[in-house]
Structure 1
């Protein structure tokens, strides 16, 4: 069995993309602010895409973006406690549909008098 030499790791733990990322932003009081998302387990994450096409396919064609290198995105996110950067996420949940406010009709069951039977 051949030995793995340093740098020959088939699954490197640090997968940094080459070049700047397309980072989704939203307008803020001082200009643009990076958008942060949640992983399926609920952890906050910064997100970057390796192409504008990938960003538009995932977040829609109207999503604003800026170009940042991954180290710059990490430095931007770190003071906010965000330590994870997700590159080219494949799946995203759709935005929730607006829900009409619930207006009960009549009295609720809990408001009705209860009769105890022996």
Structure 2
């Protein structure tokens, strides 16, 4: 699927032994994927400890095909908080209910 000219993107994931893509929402509320050009760029936006994998853009688009995702935002510097503990607690609470 990947050609030699496709650069590899750094894509945030969740999980440890089995990982899944981490999806985000735009300000308008639509689902989107986020990718970064380097691990350093990802760390600046999501934090140094965030898990990631390398994928080509075609591979990422293929994985997103059936997920109702509007697109891929590359290097969204400054648009996502590095740490959002209040939001994480709220999400965990909603999922546990």
Q: TM-score, normalised by structure 1?
A: 0.62
Structure that is richer in helix per residue: 2
Inter-partner Cα distance in structure 1 for 2:28 and 2:67? 18
The 5 A counterparts of 1:1-118 are: 19-27=7-15, 31-90=18-77, 91-93=79-81, 95=84, 97=86
Q: What is the deviation of 1:83?
A: 3.0
In the TM superposition, what whole-angstrom CA distance separates every residue of 1:55-84 from its partner, at most 9, and x where no partner exists?
000000010000001111111111111131
Number of residues paired by the alignment?
81
Q: TM-score, normalised by structure 2?
A: 0.74
In the TM superposition, what whole-angstrom CA distance separates every residue of 1:68-111 from its partner, at most 9, and x where no partner exists?
01111111111111131110002114525258xxxxxxxxxxxx
Compute the RMSD of aligned alpha carbons. 2.0
Q: Secondary structure at the match of 2:65?
A: helix
Structure of larger gyration radius: 1
Q: What is the deviation of 1:52?
A: 0.5
The runs of 4+ residues in structure 1 deviating greater than 3 Å are: none
- Gaps of at least 5 residues in structure 2 are 1-5, 91-97
- Gaps of at least 5 residues in structure 1 are 1-17, 100-118
